[in-house]
Structure 1
């Protein structure tokens, strides 16, 4: 068997994933009509006001809507200690000092805080809505896809609950949604800054720098992978993150910041239940050889990053979506907020009918798992009719659904990049299903 040299792509395939925005993309963006989405925005605000009025305390107590690192109650306690000349990290706070500075004058203003959290959700939804103009290849798809992205984020009951619980991940999600808009709009510098700021709240989101690196590589090297260029671009972005993160050292002691924020995600010293699996494993199973299992689990959480980057670097937006799902599945202290971030983007993947049915089945499974977690947590904590195993079972069902959703995304991306290409047949030019942005394909 002889292998022929990979032929040059045909002229119609020369448009790469990340090039200068075409007139079609700009035209699509201009045609977006905000009047079409006023009703979802108003209804989403109304749902959040009801949740704030009647369910705020319950949602703040539920471990699915808040975790150790994004709890607003812990932030308020840390600000109170800081106001008394104490340390921000003297109690249970695991955020960054910059967040405390932002919320310091707002803590006594309850209604202003509600407006702030609702506004963050609306800005995030509008950013996703505006992204449709750059995601879609056909102008006719823009209104439908834009409204789908907005409604899936703004009217998701889990997103409403996360907002009413005053989960600080709402701010992180807003930053990442705006970063995604800049990302698909080819404004990679702004996307890098926003990802670096969001990564201060959760260090796992540093993985999103790699899709931006891939976008920069495609703009400079087209279809040839350049390891030296990738390393240089990643180095620049890590330096930018370090400079932005060092602002926190001007507010609090650098040792306290690193130990209380960054190391918190890797040491797993807080066993408060959440929608992940690590709290259960390390509090009841991995009691001995704890350091060994810590290394193994974190190794599994990060070992996928560079292989995925090497394989899918020609599809930066698909890589962005995969990393969001990986973070939701493998992070130390997950909540529903991470799931709400990538779910709207999943609806933009065009697949076969059986795959679409499989996708909605998985979303239903995850919804049932979230609903059952409300019951099992109450049985365990309040009524005493259950135990930790009941709640952990709901969490495992939630994570299994996330894993199959990730499989759905990976399969769609693999098929789009390698099906009927010279990955299998050396005498055929690669035929990419995704043009411009690797999420949508004309049916």
Structure 2
């Protein structure tokens, strides 16, 4: 098939999936692997009904979506499946633009364009949550738009998109530092020739002030107006830190805190939250020469340790692998990582059905599959870190080998 026709065909198929009724859509919407209490479509509908009947949706401890989504879907757009399909298409387009910025190629100048879009649109970890109408689709698209704008040097739109992304999902604060570094550096691959960070740190600090202004003043004020007060802060951002809803998910938090004694809970909540933060500085320092790769690795960290994890989180990390073909030859265990993800993707629905549907298992079954998913994500991040460091050594070795062959001749 002509590569120029493949991308429109992908887009058309995704729109058809949104229009044609899917028999299992109700099961998808209540599947713990595809949506969490913070991204669930049934909870979004409940919050919209309460909001439209002048009842505070944040008063009952059930609705945990952003007040901006509440305002958007109650006044501007109906929450129809086609909105999620268009959001997927925008996410694939943003990933494609990031690829072009990194490779310094123009529109239509690379035959890889269709592959980049296909990796996003056909990724089952991303497609199934989108079909379940999980709002994690909006979070991933907002994050890709942020990276796209930062890669293209559009400062103010990138900072505004970053503010919106962190508003939708507080855990994406991990990416604030690499995005600020990306704005004052280049997205072009520097993995093979590492050097100290060449960007202006003072300029990055000024951009940080602009980001805080957007996040607190613009996005924060709009959220207070839409939410009718400050109650949304506790139910949305606070939920990511205090874990009030222990619904099962593919992540590592819920089962641990189900078994936790109450008097130990605050301490371990602090430990789990700080644990996410400790990765920022080491990765930013080690890969300071390639800040887009830093963002990629931190997306992988979120895909393992996020409080309310869904398949969309590791799915974004796996799709972003397509941006870095230069590291493929240096991956140590790609087959092992692939098999781990395959194993986890089979175990999760199986053990979920045994425990929740059939009642023949227990929570240990499902958490065991979650651990396999965590190991798969960890294997991918560790392998990506190794390949990102090994590429520089490998290129040096190849260069010296070439010089030696010339001398021998």
Q: TM-score range by the shorter chain?
A: 0.7 to 0.9
Change (3 A) 1:280 1:137: same
Deviations 1:15-51 (CA, angstroms, capped at 9, x unpaired):
xxxxxxxxxxxxxxxxxx854412222233344556x
Deviations 1:58-104 (CA, angstroms, capped at 9, x unpaired):
11111010001011111111121122221120231112211101111
| 8 Å CA contact retained: 1:66, 1:162 | yes
Residue 82 of structure 2 corresponds to residue 115 of structure 1 = yes
Change (3 A) 1:238 1:358: same
Residue 107 of structure 2 corresponds to residue 132 of structure 1 = no
Residue 308 of structure 1 is matched in structure 2 by 283
User: Which of 368, 374, 384 is equivalent to 2:349?
Assistant: 374
Residue 59 of structure 2 is matched in structure 1 by 90
| 8 Å CA contact retained: 2:153, 2:183 | no
Cα distance in 2 for residues equivalent to 1:352 and 1:346: 9
Residue 84 of structure 2 corresponds to residue 151 of structure 1 = no
Aligned counterparts, 1:338-417, within 5 A: 338-350=313-325, 355-356=330-331, 358-416=333-391
Cα distance in 2 for residues equivalent to 1:100 and 1:48: 21
Residue 187 of structure 2 corresponds to residue 213 of structure 1 = no
Determine helix, strand or coil for the equivalent of 1:384.
coil
Residue 273 of structure 2 corresponds to residue 298 of structure 1 = yes
Residue 62 of structure 1 is matched in structure 2 by 31
Using the TM superposition, give the Cα deviation of residue 355 of structure 1 relative to its aligned residue in structure 2, in angstroms: 4.6
Cα distance in 2 for residues equivalent to 1:358 and 1:184: 29
Residue 44 of structure 2 corresponds to residue 75 of structure 1 = yes
Determine helix, strand or coil for the equivalent of 2:38.
coil
Using the TM superposition, give the Cα deviation of residue 57 of structure 1 relative to its aligned residue in structure 2, in angstroms: 0.6
| 8 Å CA contact retained: 1:276, 1:332 | yes
Structure 1 runs not aligned, ≥5 long:
1-32, 422-443
RMSD: 2.9
Cα distance in 2 for residues equivalent to 1:229 and 1:187: 14
Using the TM superposition, give the Cα deviation of residue 270 of structure 1 relative to its aligned residue in structure 2, in angstroms: 0.8
Cα distance in 2 for residues equivalent to 1:63 and 1:106: 29
| 8 Å CA contact retained: 2:19, 2:82 | no
Using the TM superposition, give the Cα deviation of residue 325 of structure 1 relative to its aligned residue in structure 2, in angstroms: 1.0
Q: How many residues align?
A: 386
| 8 Å CA contact retained: 1:129, 1:149 | yes
With a CA cutoff of 8 Å and minimum separation of 6, indicate the structure with the bigger relative contact order: 1
Residue 216 of structure 2 is matched in structure 1 by 242
Relative to the length of structure 2, the TM-score reads 0.85
| 8 Å CA contact retained: 1:70, 1:168 | yes
User: Which of 179, 189, 195 is equivalent to 2:156?
Assistant: 189
Cα distance in 2 for residues equivalent to 1:235 and 1:419: 40
Residue 405 of structure 2 is matched in structure 1 by none
Deviations 1:140-197 (CA, angstroms, capped at 9, x unpaired):
9963432222111111223221111110111222222222322222223222211211
| 8 Å CA contact retained: 1:373, 1:391 | yes
Change (3 A) 1:224 1:134: closer
Using the TM superposition, give the Cα deviation of residue 339 of structure 1 relative to its aligned residue in structure 2, in angstroms: 2.0
Residue 3 of structure 1 is matched in structure 2 by none
Change (3 A) 1:351 1:325: same
Change (3 A) 1:378 1:411: same
Residue 53 of structure 1 is matched in structure 2 by 22
User: Which of 196, 204, 207 is equivalent to 1:233?
Assistant: 207
| 8 Å CA contact retained: 1:59, 1:165 | yes
Cα distance in 1 for residues equivalent to 2:270 and 2:214: 27
Residue 180 of structure 1 is matched in structure 2 by 147
| 8 Å CA contact retained: 1:145, 1:348 | no
Using the TM superposition, give the Cα deviation of residue 314 of structure 1 relative to its aligned residue in structure 2, in angstroms: 2.4
| 8 Å CA contact retained: 2:18, 2:82 | no
Change (3 A) 1:227 1:139: closer
